[in-house]
Amino acid sequence: MQSVWLARISWLALAVVPGALSVPGASGDATFSADNVAHLAAVALLWLAWAAVAFGLIVLHPLSLAAVRWLSPMVVAHVWWMALFADSASGLVRLVAALLVAVTLLVSLRAEFGARHVQAAAYGHERRHLLRPPVAVILPSALVWFVAVALAAVVLHTERPAAAVPAAVASIVVAGFGWRRVSVLTRRWLVYVPAGIAVHDPLMLRDTFMVRRHDVRAVGVAADSTSPDETSGESFDITGTTWGQPVQITLAHLHDVSLSAFGARMTRTLDRVHVRALRIAPTRSRAALSETT
């Protein structure tokens, strides 16, 4: 909880640092009194991104977690660029702004921060544990992010309205498209409920995988090497190729798993399989395993 408040305070404090959210070549007062369309578009785009992240930090939810992790690096890149190359503020002010956004960015990338957002939307006695994103999703998402940043850079560094306004609209559209794509990553959970265990993964699974507690034989750290069961098709990996130590749910008997089109491509199998063990990759494996009792 302390880390969430640290991110909130750091990000909200950025708004009162003189010139922290200004555009190149503008004074602090010009941030709020733009005298041309290009300048106004740049200021509006910058403050819109800041406000979206601020909302995501205050209102905890899986979708707001996606907004924070998607948009905050864009603002961080701008603030750091201003701190290194712009002359619109004193060295101390630029350093303070750079430190504030760095604190928010580092906190927002921590697994505990994601866990707070995911759990905030849980129902009743649910305990949700966020799953790690597949590498195959991160790389295309990074490309979309860079395109949105490049368009935003055009808005921030041009003085021609004919270029600034279309670039601002395009940046918002691309950023919104990317946010919709990455928001699915914050809705991938291992869920403990009193009746059993569920794996909610709209990226890899077509339907939520649910199993009653008496049908679960064991939940533990998955072996690094391929087991005979996995070779025979009884153990199934839906981590999507990611980092970290996977967790294996071993079942008392065979269960059906319905895969999405993406999940079937990633696992190179049919869209429905019968499994005796399922592998997933929570962001906090130890915390997930500690709740098995």
Q: Are residues 216 and 242 in the same domain?
A: yes
* Helix, strand, coil percentages in the chain from 3-state DSSP, rounded to 5: 55, 20, 30
- Residue 268 exposed, middle or buried by CB count within 10 Å (0-12, 13-18, 19+): exposed
pLDDT at 231: 36
Q: Are residues 141 and 199 in the same domain?
A: no
pLDDT at 6: 94
Q: Are residues 137 and 280 in the same domain?
A: no
pLDDT at 88: 59
Domain count, the chain: 2
- Taking residues 204-226, what's their average pLDDT? 87
- Reduced to 3 states, what is the DSSP secondary structure of residue 110? coil
> Do 220 and 291 form a contact (C-beta atoms < 8 A)?
no
> Do 64 and 136 form a contact (C-beta atoms < 8 A)?
no
Residues of the chain above pLDDT 90, percent = 67
Question: Could you tell me the two tokens for 198?
Answer: 């569920």
- The string of pLDDT tens digits covering residues 45-103 is 899 999 999 999 999 999 999 999 999 999 999 999 888 876 655 778 888 999 999 99
Q: Confidence band (pLDDT; 50, 70, 90) for 292?
A: confident
Residues of the chain above pLDDT 70, percent = 90
What is the C-alpha separation between 215 and 276, in angstroms, rounded? 10
Q: Are residues 49 and 163 in the same domain?
A: yes
- Reduced to 3 states, what is the DSSP secondary structure of residue 25? coil
pLDDT at 230: 39
Least confident of 24-33, 130-139, 189-198: 24-33
> Hey, what's the torsion of the CAs at 17, 6, 185, 169, to 10 degrees?
-10
pLDDT at 20: 82
Least confident of 141-155, 179-193, 228-242: 228-242
> Do 248 and 277 form a contact (C-beta atoms < 8 A)?
yes
Question: Could you tell me the two tokens for 230?
Answer: 């996995």
What is the C-alpha separation between 58 and 182, in angstroms, rounded? 20
Dihedral sign (CA 221, 225, 231, 232): negative
Which of 138, 163, 186 is a domain's end point?
186
Which of 186, 208, 227 is a domain's end point?
186
- Taking residues 156-185, what's their average pLDDT? 90
Domain with 255, as residue range(s), is 188-290
- What is the pLDDT of the chain when averaged over all its residues? 87
CA angle (144 as vertex; 70, 96 as ends), nearest 5: 40
Which of 171, 186, 201 is a domain's end point?
186
pLDDT at 31 over 60: no
Looking at residue 28, the DSSP 8-state letter turns out to be T
pLDDT at 1: 63
- The string of pLDDT tens digits covering residues 62-75 is 999 999 999 999 99
Q: Are residues 66 and 207 in the same domain?
A: no
- Cα radius of gyration (the chain): 22
Q: Are residues 97 and 108 in the same domain?
A: yes
> Do 61 and 117 form a contact (C-beta atoms < 8 A)?
yes
Closest CA to 17 of 118, 101, 116: 101
Question: Pick the residue with more confidence: 235 or 14?
Answer: 14
Q: Are residues 147 and 244 in the same domain?
A: no
Question: Pick the residue with more confidence: 127 or 292?
Answer: 127
CA 11, distance to chain mean position in Å, is: 17
pTM for the full model? 0.87
Q: Confidence band (pLDDT; 50, 70, 90) for 172?
A: very high
pLDDT at 43 over 60: yes
Q: Are residues 168 and 267 in the same domain?
A: no
Q: Are residues 68 and 149 in the same domain?
A: yes
Neighbours of 181 (CB within 10 A): 15
- Reduced to 3 states, what is the DSSP secondary structure of residue 8? helix
Q: Confidence band (pLDDT; 50, 70, 90) for 37?
A: confident
Q: Are residues 37 and 176 in the same domain?
A: yes
Neighbours of 228 (CB within 10 A): 8
Q: Could you give phi then psi for residue 250, rounded to 5 degrees?
A: -95, 130
Q: Are residues 178 and 207 in the same domain?
A: no
Q: Confidence band (pLDDT; 50, 70, 90) for 211?
A: very high
Q: Are residues 145 and 71 in the same domain?
A: yes
